Amino acid sequence: MVNVLFVENVMIKEPQMICAQMKTAKTAELKMAKDKKSDIINRYRIFPRLFGLLFCFILYINVTWFMGLEEPTIHQTAYATGMVASAAAFFKFYVDSGNTDSSN
């Protein structure tokens, strides 16, 4: 038995096949759109830059707090030193996270 579907006075045989092909095409289009979005995010390194800006803001607040202290204790000095050292480590990881294409 052949399934028949009439759409605007046109007879279509096997509508299930056509529906399956349409679903496959739509899935391929969604995958391409997803690949484009992820490519943009990777190319412009959006998340590392946002985290870097947030970290710079936190570092600025900590450094201005530390510079405003009249007589900092050893613990406050260690805290400020640790924040500056972690900023250097973050910058190193940000620079190393660039393009990993080894075809150069």
Q: Give 8-57 pLDDT, tens digit per residue.
A: 555 555 555 656 656 666 676 666 766 777 788 778 888 888 988 999 99
- The confidence score (pLDDT) of residue 80 equals 94
- The confidence score (pLDDT) of residue 62 equals 95
**What range defines the domain where residue 36 resides?**
1-44
In a domain, 58, yes or no: yes
Average pLDDT (57-66) is 95
66 touches 76 (CB < 8 A): yes
- Give every CB contact of residue 3 below 8 A, 6+ residues apart in sequence: 13, 14, 15, 16
- Based on the domain organization, do 18 and 53 belong to the same domain? no
Tens of pLDDT, residue by residue over 40-51, are 877 888 888 898
As for how many domains the chain has, the answer is 2
The separation between the first and the last C-alpha atoms of the chain, rounded to the nearest angstrom, is 60
CA 3 vs CA 14, 18, 64, 69, 93: distances in Å:
5, 12, 76, 83, 60
- Based on the domain organization, do 33 and 73 belong to the same domain? no
Q: Is pLDDT above 90 for 65?
A: yes
